[in-house]
């Protein structure tokens, strides 16, 4: 019922649920093959499936995601077949696993050699062409988009420069020449990416996106996210949280589709406001494929978040810092994290260093070099955590209330306003495993 993709309410411009039980043979099931899958037949598309929005067909659900959420057909197919993956429901329409079909998609097993002039990039070798990118190969996904009508360069740019930058990046025509053969982008310890917030008065929208709306964000949050509550000032990103009666505004920004990376060392300097009680600041990451597969399949890594309900209850809300992971455990949600209590309050008017180290073996976080949390990820098949071996993108936000804080009504918000979170910089350094 809390899924914003299917629920019928919400204040963030949410659209109505799919029309229940469309008649088989309507627009959603007239094509003999959809999603690049010859297995996605009329019979499959006319199958009824069910969730909190009611009952509808696989084809109607795909069409609704295209029309109402603005997804491409391929992305809509991936989203719906993640919701209903069984072969007896919508599974045969999964473009990542259907094993062929229209448009040149190969379902993740690319049998075509890389073209001599692939993407115009010498670096776009057969090895890169055959890399797995969430069920596709890089080359298979590029070929699929070409089959859907894209030019080769446009398909290469979409796959290697946007969708799967961290995996297929050597086939990005805008980055050709950055490396050749097996050379790395740079040695361990070198800077991969940084945002210093040193120019302009607003965020750089070539690097960041705004998340907007007041629909609760799946956590019964109380704030309305706007663009105007985020600014760049004096070399820092400033998110201002404001209150007008029972109406709260804040900002949330992300790098999805503009920067992602797989493994590395993250460092950020952040200054926090007084959180007591009801403010929930976070510096975190979602899988870069969030728009394709949704949450929790994309995975989530919380470098830090504060304001948890048990800290509200025992008066340590400005000292308790937590890190968490969330993932899809073979069709069910899973999560794990830890919190520590610092010796003094973090809202001391100073910038504090938050770090995350991410390797194929583990993820660990710290504040001012004091460890918060470690999470072993060496055997993802054992706990369903394959999500933690794919590229992720950043999110910075301050929420008001919500399930994490245990405060679901404006009357429980006692934090002083306006409240400001400052981010001096965010930097990603390479380690020996970094891809991005």
Which residues, at least 6 apart from 244, have a Cβ–Cβ distance to it below 8 Å?
none
First to last CA, the chain: 36
- CA distances 378 to 372, 375, 388, Å, are 19, 9, 10
Most distant CA pair in the chain, distance: 66
According to DSSP, the β-strands at 247-250 and 223-225 are parallel
Task: State how far the Cα of 62 lies from the Cα of 81, in Å rounded to an integer.
Answer: 9
The phi and psi torsions of 31 (rounded to 5 degrees) equal -85, 145
Strands (E) located in 62-169: 132-133, 136-137
The β-bridge partners of 357 are 265, 364
Active-site residue, from 195, 221, 300, 387: 300
For residues 53 and 7, the answer to whether their CB atoms sit within 8 Å is: yes
The phi and psi torsions of 281 (rounded to 5 degrees) equal -85, 150
Residue keyed to tokens 């405060």: 407
* Positive or negative: CA dihedral 234, 428, 297, 164: positive
305 is catalytic: yes
Asked if residue 136 has a cis previous peptide bond (ω within 30° of 0), the answer is no
For residues 385 and 377, the answer to whether their CB atoms sit within 8 Å is: yes
420 is catalytic: no
Residues taking part in catalysis? 300, 305
């Amino acid at each position: 019922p809390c899924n914003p993709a299917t629920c019928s309410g919400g204040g963030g411009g949410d659209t109505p649920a799919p029309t229940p039980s469309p008649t088989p043979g309507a627009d959603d099931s007239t094509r003999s093959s959809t999603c690049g899958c010859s297995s996605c037949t009329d019979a499959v598309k006319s199958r009824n499936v069910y969730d909190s929005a009611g009952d509808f067909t696989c084809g109607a659900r795909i069409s609704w995601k295209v029309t109402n959420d603005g997804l491409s057909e391929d992305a809509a197919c991936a989203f719906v077949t993640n919701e209903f993956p069984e072969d007896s429901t919508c599974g045969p329409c999964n473009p990542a696993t259907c094993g062929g079909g229209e448009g040149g998609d190969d379902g993740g097993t690319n049998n075509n050699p890389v073209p001599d002039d692939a993407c115009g990039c010498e670096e776009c070798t057969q090895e890169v062409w055959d890399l797995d990118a969430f069920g596709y190969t890089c080359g298979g996904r590029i070929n699929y988009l070409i089959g859907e009508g894209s030019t080769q360069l446009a398909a290469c740019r979409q796959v290697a420069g946007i969708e799967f930058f961290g995996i297929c990046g050597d086939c990005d025509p805008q980055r050709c020449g950055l490396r050749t053969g097996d050379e790395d982008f740079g040695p361990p310890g070198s800077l991969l990416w940084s945002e210093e917030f040193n120019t302009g008065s607003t965020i750089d929208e070539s690097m960041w996106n705004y998340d907007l709306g007041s629909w609760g964000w799946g956590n019964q949050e109380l704030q309305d996210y706007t663009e105007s509550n985020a600014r760049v000032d004096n070399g820092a990103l400033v998110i201002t949280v404001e209150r007008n009666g029972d109406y709260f505004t804040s900002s949330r920004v992300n790098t999805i589709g503009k920067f992602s990376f797989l493994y590395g060392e993250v460092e950020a300097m952040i200054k926090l406001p007084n959180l007591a009680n009801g403010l929930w600041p976070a510096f975190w990451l979602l899988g870069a494929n969030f728009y394709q597969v949704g949450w929790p399949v994309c995975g989530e890594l919380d470098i830090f978040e504060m304001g948890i309900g048990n800290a509200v209850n025992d008066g340590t809300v400005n000292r308790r810092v937590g890190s968490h992971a969330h993932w899809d455990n073979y069709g069910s949600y899973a999560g794990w994290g830890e919190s520590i209590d610092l010796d003094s309050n973090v809202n001391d008017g100073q910038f504090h260093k938050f770090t995350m180290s991410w390797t194929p073996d583990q993820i660990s976080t710290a504040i001012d070099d004091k460890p918060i949390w470690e999470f072993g990820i060496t055997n993802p098949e054992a706990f369903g955590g394959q999500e933690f071996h794919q590229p992720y993108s950043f999110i910075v936000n301050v929420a008001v209330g919500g399930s994490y804080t245990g405060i679901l009504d404006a009357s429980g918000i006692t934090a002083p306003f306006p409240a400001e979170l400052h981010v001096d910089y965010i930097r990603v350094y390479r380690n020996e495993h970094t891809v991005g």
